[in-house]
Amino acid sequence: MRFGVIRFPGSCDETDAVLACERVPGCSATLLWHGDADLHGVDAVVVPGGFSYGDYLRVGAIARFSPVMESVIAFSEEGGLVLGICNGFQVLCEAGLLPGALLPNEGLRFLCRQVDVEVVRSSMPFTADCFPGERLSIPVKHTTGRYYAPPAELESLHAHGQIVLKYAAGHNPNGSLDDVAGVTNQAGNVLGLMPHPEHAVDPLTGSRDGLKLFLSMAHAHG
């Protein structure tokens, strides 16, 4: 399986995401340039963390209009797997691929911290290698990670099982509603999350728990 990792001007974690994908047996990864609409036949797309276009104006706002994002939208509509991490999550929300928005952390500061994340739903392509309720130790690092959706929408996300990952009790770093850490679209082929699974793929640098997300994607692809 081949992952494509998007590179916007201002992306920071794209190389880390490539390294994470490459740790999955049988998988490779390539960088996709923001200005190139061609996805080069990749099997899944990762929209990585960072500060695309400086995150000026509003996080993710400018990146969503880049040529590559048009193709990502089309790719997702055909059922392709799209994983948005941190800034990537913000971009996917701005692009309308995921519900809700990300607001400044309650504490207003950038926060880099290892947190525990709970798998709410494991019957889906991104978390199939986890068991329900499993706690994953994954770092967060962001200033704008407070998940928000209007009350009715949030209800519906719960009802449709679209809340896939939650911060474990006492681990919510940013004031996200209902401790939401990661949400999926209705179809279940697009996942956005604020924690950085690509920074939890090797015990040497902290934890290996995040690798499960990439392994799950590979298994889903078959």
Judged by the rule CB under 8 A, the positions of this chain that interact with another protein are 9-13, 15-16, 19, 50-51, 53-58, 61-62, 65, 94, 100-101, 103-113, 139, 141, 146, 148-150, 175, 196, 198-199, 202, 204-206
User: Which residue, 121 or 199, has its beta carbon nearer to another protein?
Assistant: 199
Q: Are 146 and 181 in contact (CB under 8 A)?
A: no
Q: How far is the CB of 207 from another protein (least distance, A)?
A: 11
CA dihedral 115, 121, 126, 129 (to 10 degrees): 90
Residue 174, both tokens: 């940013």
Q: How far is the CB of 51 from another protein (least distance, A)?
A: 5
Indicate the residue type of 115. Answer: V
The answer to whether 106 is a known catalytic residue is no
User: Which residue, 161 or 175, has its beta carbon nearer to another protein?
Assistant: 175
Q: Which of 27, 86, 93, 130 is catalytic?
A: 86
Q: How far is the CB of 1 from another protein (least distance, A)?
A: 21
Burial code of 21-32, b = ≥16 C-beta within 10 A, e = fewer?
beebeebebebb
User: Which residue, 105 or 189, has its beta carbon nearer to another protein?
Assistant: 105
Q: Spell out the residues 6+ positions from residue 83 whose beta carbon is closer than 8 angstroms to its own.
A: 44, 45, 46, 47, 126, 190, 191, 192, 193, 213, 217
Q: How far is the CB of 104 from another protein (least distance, A)?
A: 6
The answer to whether 171 is a known catalytic residue is no
Q: Are 27 and 3 in contact (CB under 8 A)?
A: yes
User: Which residue, 97 or 124, has its beta carbon nearer to another protein?
Assistant: 97
The answer to whether 198 is a known catalytic residue is yes
CA-nearest of 16, 27, 50 to 201 is 16
Q: Which of 34, 171, 196, 199 is catalytic?
A: 196
Q: Which residues are catalytic?
A: 86, 196, 198
